């Protein structure tokens, strides 16, 4: 990652701390070369870290998000950002900012936005993934669905990266830990490779 790319990613809108972003970038470098996919893109911050590796490797990074925000992004919730509501529609819309982030980062040749419900997209998915990054809906149901519907597409030797994994309940919500991280390890199909903050990197055995 060039210092310019790193500075741009750090300045991009979003909540991922810089050290977790760099761990995400490192995971993309360590993964086999091939298509990558992230579930949950918001304004494109994590896509900056993954997208530079995708661009270098001339491989796509698919970014799945309905761009209407998670539960905790809605009006009245802790992580709401009022300027992200489209007044004409009365709903959140992060797609314009996502596009601007990807454009300004020079990543339009590698990053492909897929706008829709994660589970709906997953049911039509067939391409094996060198890296899957799950950072979408953090409720029990969406997290469980992301585990069930997306993780089978990680290729042998490919990486599964999960964000907002909090083993200690005092640190944050349960579903990424209980519905994705623990079941992945319990399945015997994934082993842990590394961790940074709330980011966990697993490899498909
Ligand atoms: N990875 C991003 C942050 C993602 S925030 C970053 O690093 O900046 C979570 C995102 O998941 C939100 O943008 C929300 O719109 C999306 N999301 C939540 N549930 C979803 C679902 N069921 N289908 C598609 N996208 C979903
Ligand atoms: Mg997150």
Active site residues: 138
* Distance between CA atoms of residues 102 and 97, nearest Å: 9
pLDDT of residue 79: 87
* Closest C-alpha to ligand 1, atom 15: 69
* Closest C-alpha to ligand 1, atom 20: 137
Paired with 38 in beta bridges are 63, 133
Q: Which ligand is nearest to the CA of 73?
A: 1
Q: Within 2-67, where are the H helices?
A: 3-11, 18-30, 45-56
pLDDT of residue 8: 97
Instruction: Write phi, then psi, for 90 (nearest 5 degrees).
Output: 75, 20
Of 64, 8, 191, 108, the closest CA to residue 25 belongs to: 8
Instruction: Write phi, then psi, for 193 (nearest 5 degrees).
Output: -105, -45
pLDDT of residue 78: 87
**Residue 38 · residue 64 · CB < 8 Å:** yes
Asked if residue 118 has its Cβ within 6 Å of ligand 1, the reply is yes
> How many other C-beta atoms lie within 10 A of the C-beta of residue 11?
12
User: Measured between alpha carbons, how far is residue 6 from residues 76, 104, 135, 176, 204 in Å?
Assistant: 32, 13, 20, 26, 28
* Closest C-alpha to ligand 1, atom 19: 137
* Distance between CA atoms of residues 31 and 33, nearest Å: 6
Of 86, 108, 105, the closest CA to residue 13 belongs to: 105
Blockwise average pLDDT, block size 10, the chain, 205 residues: 96 97 98 98 98 98 98 89 94 97 98 98 98 98 98 98 98 97 98 98 98
Paired with 61 in beta bridges are 36, 111
Helix (H) or strand (E) holding 134: strand 129-134
Instruction: Write phi, then psi, for 103 (nearest 5 degrees).
Output: -65, -55
* Distance between CA atoms of residues 195 and 175, nearest Å: 17
**pTM reported for the whole predicted model:** 0.98
Q: Which ligand is nearest to the CA of 10?
A: 1
**Residue 48 · residue 22 · CB < 8 Å:** no
């Amino acid at each position: 990652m060039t210092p310019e790319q790193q500075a741009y990613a750090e300045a991009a809108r979003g909540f991922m701390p810089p050290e977790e972003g760099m761990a995400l970038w490192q995971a993309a470098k360590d993964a086999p070369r091939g298509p990558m996919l992230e579930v949950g893109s918001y304004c494109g911050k994590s896509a900056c870290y993954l997208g530079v590796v995708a661009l270098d490797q001339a491989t796509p990074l698919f970014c799945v998000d309905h761009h209407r925000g998670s539960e905790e992004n809605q009006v009245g919730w802790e992580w709401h950002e009022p300027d992200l509501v489209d007044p004409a529609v009365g709903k959140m819309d992060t797609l314009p900012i996502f596009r601007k982030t990807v454009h300004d980062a020079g990543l339009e040749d590698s990053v492909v936005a897929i706008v829709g419900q994660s589970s709906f997209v997953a049911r039509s998915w067939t391409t094996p993934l060198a890296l899957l990054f799950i950072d979408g809906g953090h409720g029990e149901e969406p997290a469980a669905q992301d585990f069930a519907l997306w993780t089978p597409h990680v290729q042998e030797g490919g990486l599964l990266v999960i964000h907002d994994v909090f083993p200690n309940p005092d640190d944050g919500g349960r579903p990424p830990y209980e519905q994705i991280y623990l079941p992945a390890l319990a399945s015997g199909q994934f082993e842990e490779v590394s961790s940074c903050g709330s980011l966990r990197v697993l490899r498909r055995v």
